[in-house]
Structure 1
Amino acid sequence: MVDLLRDAVSLTERQRLVRSSIRDVCDTFDEEYWRTRAEKGVYPHEFVDTLAEQGWMGVLVPEEYGGAGMGTRETVVMMEEIAAGGGGFSAAQAVHGGVYNSVPIVSYASEELKSDLLPRVAEGEASIQAFGLTEPNAGSNSPAIETRAEREGDEYVIDGQKIWTSRVDVSDYLVLVARTIPLEDVEKRTRGISMFLVDLEDAHDQGALEMTEIPKSASDFVHSFELWFDDLRVPAENLIGEEGAGFYQVLDGLNEERLVIAAECLGLGRLALERAVEYANEREVFGRPIGRNQALQHPLADAYARLQAAKQLTYNAAERAATDDAVDLGALANAAKYLSADAAYTAADVAVQVHGGFGIATEYDVERYFREARLTRLVPITQELALNYIGENVLGLPRSY
């Protein structure tokens, strides 16, 4: 694997070890593996299972529970390398949930729940790939969720609907966000929301969960679903953290996760750029390589510069998240996500253009990278919401929503 961004940042010894280890895994899954998974819409079980067997799904699980006990500095490296290793943003997303959905368990779950679940996650025996938050009437406006959880004795009974819930089909557990107090009964709309751990096998056995896959044009092998809950009974001990404070628990750690999303965008952009440069050097038209033409050189160089700048911001922010308590991480995380998604889109667009007509041929992969790059400008937040945050919280402009 050629790393065109290898000199963008300096890595710690631990980060270099993560990079080397993840590259070793990625090197065993070639372009044809990812191309076939995308064409058939098949989840990359072999790839994810390999990472799980080596303990990488427990990278953020504390050592006391059998995990690696690493942090954002290491995870940005891990996820960038996964995206750059051939599978693109979708490969990173196939892993992302399993890594990050353990964070609320680590931070807020009871000791009994942590002791039971986290060692199994760290060992690759259990997965928490799915997170249920978004609803038809509550996308970016998360406090507007209507899914309801009512306490009945030693259980909560949950009814409602979720959309765009990914990886439910390959997960053992779902972290579900629901209202324990109706919106009309709270003084502040962000109160009255709680998080629950749902055993998906048990939910199906109860006949309380229905799911329908949502057809989509990106992330070909990571499937997303619409979910309906009908009298789903969840043990009270599966409440994650404090009842009614779930919205704030969701926000905790969000900025560091956003940096990891930025790193996944960087990996995708790097992959697209590397494929484009390779093709520009090999493809000859009018008796010379097409990369000799400035009409292609300049867009490729522009994409490189954008990726370099975005990577420096992302990695600097990850470093400061670990070492500087005074840093405005929200500003850096939103800027990093915004710039990295745009840099990935620029690189993928250039890659398609460099390939000419073959840019839309699936055998060259860059059309898939382009579709994924377009997705990065929408998830997990839109580019506009990232700018809203910066405008209000950094520049001091009036709130726009």
Structure 2
Amino acid sequence: MTTTDQSTEAPDLDLIRNTTRELARKFDHDYWLDCDNNHKYPWEFVKAFAEGGWLGAMIPEEYGGIGLGLREAAVMMGEIAGSGGGMSGGSAVHFYVFPPAPIVRYGSEDMKRKYLPQLASGDMLTAFGITEPTAGVDTSRIKTKATKVDGGWVINGQKVFITNAQNAQRILLLARTSPRDDAKPLAGMTIFFAEMNRENVTVREIDKLGRAAIDTNELFIDNLFVPDEDVVGEVGKGFYYIIDGLNPERIVVAMEGVGLGRAALEIGAEYAKNRVVFDRPIGQNQAVAHPLADSWIRLEAAERMAMHAAELFDNHQDCGHESAAAKYLGAEAGFEACDRVFSTLGGYAYAKEYHIERLWREVRLLRNAPFSQEMVRNYIAQQVLGLPRSY
């Protein structure tokens, strides 16, 4: 199935699309089903992308990466999800793409030289610790606290929905270094690139609906010491640095939603051409064909919004509105495509051998994470349309 018209894209994007597609599709649907069924981290897949240099896609060349832009990384992530890897494949790689952004932009030179080559090579796995059980989407109300001591900081608190924590060596951890000020609620938070010392960090895995190959966890942090040299940027400005990771995250998630939808459409279109009922392929019926065609159109539109947002980011232009819209469209179009293919296969959609139920479970996450569709609408209503704040 043709996924997009590539005639207007730059040759480098064509090359990246084709190269990463070929690599990702060496790991077929059965590989991902096995990882999902057995809660098995896809290390073979990660190693293959590490050997190809792709984990360092957005890390500058002087620190061991290949220095690509977000557009190239977004294309790669779309191909990974579209190969059948879905959010399991996507999450296994995209944590090398957007979490290092605060280090690349605001970390000290020593920090960059010490850690970025390890990230680029895949020798270091990281987690990203922002969300907390009592704060929800109001990051200004996090309670994890860092207290200054000689030579560093001592952190105490709790995080939730933290990916990779079972195996991560380090975590980009957001903590309060000064009390919340109602006048400046987003100030006073700091990013630490903290070691995941298991004597001070208790990791408890969350059993969840989908993406079982990639662990999701609660963290309980008890007197975790972080030296001064592992503070990212200036103390108190952490939330504003996190934004440099959040916009790429939204764009990457949008492309993963598009990829998931396209993976489902490939299965659905093939099934609709070959499944014969009442002496005709079911794809000959417009009630089957039209929803699939509509999903193809919506996936194309979502990709173009995501690529537009990525281009703005690469050109150092504000892309908050576009990134939010891209995440919204990618999540909606991806879920709708998987859901329509689910209906196309009927009862067979429940059979794991057709892989739709796995894609459907994984894409549903994107309507809630990294933030909900309702919060996107709130943001656009207030920040773009100028309407009164509703939350």
Query: What does 1:336-355 correspond to in 2, within 5 Å?
Result: 336-355=326-345
Contact 1:186/1:192 (CA < 8 Å) preserved in 2? no
Match for 1:14: what amino acid?
A: D
Partner of 1:279: 271
Alpha-carbon distance, 1:186 to partner: 7.0
Alpha-carbon distance, 1:253 to partner: 4.4
Partner of 2:158: 161
Equivalent-residue separation in structure 1 for 2:165 and 2:316 (angstroms): 36
Deviations 1:155-213 (A, max 9, x none): 21111111100111232211111111122x6752111100101122xx11xx1111110
Which of 61, 72, 76 is 1:78 aligned to? Answer: 76
Aligned length: 391
Query: What does 1:51-90 correspond to in 2, within 5 Å?
Result: 51-90=49-88
Alpha-carbon distance, 1:9 to partner: 7.2
Deviations 1:332-380 (A, max 9, x none): 1111111111101110001110111011111111011111221111111
Query: What does 1:353-372 correspond to in 2, within 5 Å?
Result: 353-372=343-362
Contact 2:73/2:97 (CA < 8 Å) preserved in 1? no
Query: What does 1:115-134 correspond to in 2, within 5 Å?
Result: 115-128=113-126, 130-134=127-131
Contact 1:280/1:354 (CA < 8 Å) preserved in 2? yes
Equivalent-residue separation in structure 1 for 2:154 and 2:45 (angstroms): 36
Query: What does 1:2-401 correspond to in 2, within 5 Å?
Result: 2=1, 4-7=2-5, 10-128=8-126, 130-183=127-180, 187-200=183-196, 203-204=197-198, 207-323=199-315, 325=317, 328-401=318-391
Deviations 1:281-312 (A, max 9, x none): 11112222111111101111111111121122
Alpha-carbon distance, 1:31 to partner: 1.6
Give unpaired runs (5+ residues) of structure 1: none
Equivalent-residue separation in structure 1 for 2:89 and 2:30 (angstroms): 14
Equivalent-residue separation in structure 2 for 1:260 and 1:298 (angstroms): 28
* Runs of 4+ residues deviating >6 angstroms: none
Match for 1:33: what amino acid?
A: Y
Contact 1:9/1:311 (CA < 8 Å) preserved in 2? no
Using the size of structure 1 for normalisation, the TM-score is 0.94
Equivalent-residue separation in structure 2 for 1:218 and 1:22 (angstroms): 24
Contact 1:331/1:390 (CA < 8 Å) preserved in 2? yes
Equivalent-residue separation in structure 1 for 2:299 and 2:227 (angstroms): 46
Aligned-partner SS, 2:135: coil
Match for 2:55: what amino acid?
A: M
Alpha-carbon distance, 1:86 to partner: 1.2
Equivalent-residue separation in structure 2 for 1:147 and 1:323 (angstroms): 34
Give unpaired runs (5+ residues) of structure 2: none
Aligned-partner SS, 2:219: strand
Match for 1:98: what amino acid?
A: Y
- Aligned CA RMSD, in angstroms, stands at 1.5
Change (3 A) 1:220 1:272: same
Contact 1:8/1:308 (CA < 8 Å) preserved in 2? no
Equivalent-residue separation in structure 2 for 1:320 and 1:114 (angstroms): 25
Equivalent-residue separation in structure 1 for 2:312 and 2:225 (angstroms): 42
Equivalent-residue separation in structure 2 for 1:239 and 1:324 (angstroms): 24
Contact 1:9/1:312 (CA < 8 Å) preserved in 2? no
Alpha-carbon distance, 1:52 to partner: 1.4
Match for 1:301: what amino acid?
A: A
Change (3 A) 1:324 1:107: closer
Equivalent-residue separation in structure 2 for 1:5 and 1:87 (angstroms): 16
Match for 2:146: what amino acid?
A: A
Equivalent-residue separation in structure 2 for 1:365 and 1:109 (angstroms): 42
Deviations 1:28-57 (A, max 9, x none): 112211111111111111001111122211
Equivalent-residue separation in structure 2 for 1:324 and 1:288 (angstroms): 53
Match for 2:287: what amino acid?
A: A
Using the size of structure 2 for normalisation, the TM-score is 0.96
Contact 2:99/2:245 (CA < 8 Å) preserved in 1? no
Contact 2:4/2:300 (CA < 8 Å) preserved in 1? no
Equivalent-residue separation in structure 2 for 1:387 and 1:15 (angstroms): 31
Q: Percent identity?
A: 44
Contact 2:53/2:120 (CA < 8 Å) preserved in 1? yes
Alpha-carbon distance, 1:399 to partner: 1.4
Contact 2:98/2:245 (CA < 8 Å) preserved in 1? no
Change (3 A) 1:193 1:324: closer
